Structure 1
């Protein structure tokens, strides 16, 4: 009896179900659901929504992260761009608000195109980051925040009809190329060898007003081309830095034709100072664009062109404020980042010492446009040689002479700025000067 009472009943052998049969049974279960029942339809709807929310949330999170400046700075080669962005007036908006046109389709298209940046990052860090024509910031991105109806700048001085420029098809970046990154690509400050120097403190020094604000040289160059019947902005490359290919170790400089461009720029400057105001489509007189800045009264005096030397020497800082080459030239020349950092706030300093004054005037291309040639005041060579002593009888008068002439024969290894002439005082005054 005990044996019978405690004997366990054998379970019927389980029949193994083939994987395909399991799938079929699951499919049968789905087919057997009564879809006419509203409860079942609601269950399906909730399940579908849950999957979409989870999947969409994950995709949206990834998209939001890749749109953030934090993601942009995660790549070493983007450190200069991120540091300048943080120091700019646009630091409160995201990178994509400028670099991607509004709209979901544009966003997704840009993400697909950006995969090539990942490729460049993995196969070899680019020597320099430079915007290509196909990725130039369009006007519509700027117009998300800025009105097109502005006629006068915030300072109240500069008169610029923005709508008229935009209607002509001129890209905003033609004038405002430095607003977010201070033209570091033009200045060649974002190359691989300098990326470690782009700290927040250094960015504050290097993001100076002259490179963030519109450059007068761009206005002058463009207006000059318009007067010749051209529309340079139709080639978007006109508004962008000099291009350099990804992965290339060679950085192209903007001074390949510096001598030719410099001479051309100085002639335009001379035209702009009161000469070009008739029979032109766009006058380049100061008063054409400025309400408060105009040609100084001293410049309108007779013979100012040949009698401004002493005034210029005494007030070199004031003169260079307007006649600095970088203000009048469109092309920005390559710079040395360490030199800029070592100078206070990255600004050019003009010492009051005679040596520094001479260096400033000698290296100024605007001055050399005329001083590279014999001044009319010097007259006939033979006559000038016997009568110029009265023009250099005092120390201040001699200092003005030394702007163009050296006292002693210039040495090839000298670090001082080269004079515009090879005539030096001791070539004739070999025994020295009276009183010395």
Structure 2
């Protein structure tokens, strides 16, 4: 009898018989057979060795096949969110190699580790919708040098003077300059969001993947050289060479939280040690524009400095072809008429995205609807005025008072002869508004002086 006063119930003879006669499970039966083997018999030992060897070969074969299969670019294309990366890859000069040759460190061990770590991507894909792909791990130089020589003396264009040896000695990552070589900078351009994925098809590749986004961006070179002149070494922070993650603001909306965690992993490392006051979008743009204008002025020789790396075109280009009409003495005063007639030619050189590192965001629908070729430009003063105000290249000079405007008191009485005809007035409107500027307007005139401040009753008809 137990201490609590309860008598333990004995099993009946029938129950004990049922338990004894019950057939053991598969694992238990196998274990009994294994224990019953006579290991002293050499035949049994050889049989066991053969089974282990065969199982090992089978497991190795399956693992090797799985690694080989998942290393093929076509495997990456199975996931919808990989559409931008796969289409751009197929259109690139790297389309004949495998993704892992760039994105995984060389070596069998590194490949296996990468495959194991990539299992989490499968999980995110299943529980999705997954985040758009944003590169957070850099492509290392040792991956590039598996195919490319470090002593390369020429460039694809044949025009650039590139000191590859000097860059390598400074341990500058290849992707700092060649970030778009395989994927056409889809992240920087903002065209790999969830809403964009259905547009990434083979038939749209010609419109979405262009050589200008795969070649090194001159703005990256200029930005880096400018920082070097200021005593900085920006490439030491790997985030400088990686695309900005533009999807972070949406991560906190995810229910499973995996995207938010990924964002923290990639952004905390890049966060500055000191707390800085966040600028508004307009303030940041104004700061970026001012910086771009300063660099452009250096490049065109208006602000020459004793610097380590000059911004002049001849620093990096073997041949600098200046159009003949640019060499006339009065070009700075009279180039407006040429801009109206040949704006498309002007923009071959004078467009902001060639001079700044940060690419403007694009709309994928507009890119597809616009087609692979540009519409033919027709002279339009309104278009020139708007472009000249939006362009940092133009506004960097237009912000200064033209030499022909004399002193303020003299110009006040002398400018009437310069604005008699409609065409003359139109030239004035490139820098001046006729009426009081609208404060809400996104396109600002380079000066706040407007005509009707004085001419409140209007103008005489020409």
Q: 1:291 to 1:334 in 2, by over 3 A?
A: same
Report what 1:369 is aligned to. Answer: 396
1:349–1:44: structure 2 CA closer, same or farther, 3 Å change rule? farther
d(CA) in 1 for partners of 2:375 and 2:188?
A: 18
Q: In the alignment, what sits opposite 1:73?
A: 77
- The question of 1:335 aligning with 2:362 is answered yes
Whole-Å Cα distance in 1 between the matches of residues 210 and 349 of structure 2?
16
Question: Is 1:420 the counterpart of 2:446 in the alignment?
Answer: yes
**After superposition, where does 1:248-397 map in structure 2 within 5 Å?**
248=252, 257-274=284-301, 279-293=306-320, 304-345=331-372, 350-393=377-420, 396-397=423-424
The runs of 5 or more residues in structure 2 that have no matched partner are 1-20, 254-259, 268-279
Aligned mates of 1:206, 1:61 — CA distance in 2: 34
Match of 1:13 in 2: none
Give the secondary structure class of the aligned counterpart of 2:93.
Answer: coil
Deviation, structure 1 residue 219: 0.8
Contiguous gaps of at least 5 residues in structure 1: 1-15
CA distance in 2, matches of 1:227, 1:412: 37
- Equivalent residue of 2:159, what SS? coil
Separation in 2, partners of 1:329, 1:205: 23
Per-residue deviation, residues 338-365 of structure 1 (Å, max 9, x unmatched): 2222223276975433332233222212
CA distance in 1, matches of 2:252, 2:101: 29
Tell me if the contact between 2:389 and 2:445 (Cα under 8 Å) persists in the aligned partners: yes
By how many angstroms is 1:205 displaced?
A: 1.1
| TM-aligned CA deviation for residue 207 of structure 1 | 1.6
Q: Deviations over 1:176-210 (max 9, x none)?
A: 11111111111111111222221223232122222
Distance 1:73 1:98, change over 3 A: same
The CA deviation at 1:279 is 2.8
In structure 2, C-alpha distance between the alignment counterparts of 1:290 and 1:22, rounded to whole Å: 76
Q: Is structure 2 residue 233 aligned with structure 1 residue 225?
A: no
Alignment of 1:172-187 (within 5 A): 172-187=174-189
Residues 11-410 of structure 1: pairs in structure 2 closer than 5 A: 29-34=37-42, 41=46, 47-132=51-136, 135-243=137-245, 244-245=247-248, 247-248=251-252, 257-274=284-301, 279-293=306-320, 304-345=331-372, 350-393=377-420, 396-406=423-433
**Paired residues, what number?**
413
**Cα deviation digits, residues 294-350 of structure 1 (max 9, x gap):** 556765665654454334444322322112100110112222222222223276975
Label 1:297 to 1:278 Cα distance change in 2 as closer, same or farther (>3 A): farther
TM superposition shift of 1:425:
5.0
- Alpha carbons 1:350, 1:356 under 8 Å: kept: no
Judge which range, 99-108 or 89-98, deviates more: 89-98
**The 10-residue stretch of structure 1 (322-331 or 301-310) with the greater mean CA deviation from structure 2:** 301-310
Residues 341-393 of structure 1: CA distance to partner in whole angstroms, max 9, x if unpaired? Answer: 22232769754333322332222122112323543422334533433243345
RMSD across aligned positions (CA): 3.5
C-alpha distance in 1, partners of 2:403/2:302? 20
Residue 405 of structure 1: how far off its partner (Å): 3.5
Deviation at 1:114, TM superposition (A): 1.7
Distance change >3 Å, CA 201–CA 432, structure 1 → 2: farther
User: Secondary structure of 1:323's match?
Assistant: coil
TM-score between both structures, scaled by the size of structure 2 = 0.77
Q: C-alpha distance in 1, partners of 2:125/2:339?
A: 51
Distance 2:35 2:371 in 1: 76
Check 1:120–1:256 CA distance in 2 against 1; reply closer, same or farther (3 A cut). Answer: farther
- Taking a change above 3 Å as real, the CA distance of residues 276 and 412 of structure 1, as seen in their structure-2 partners, is closer
Contact 1:340–1:347 at 8 Å: present in 2 too?
A: no
8 Å contact kept, 1:272–1:285:
yes
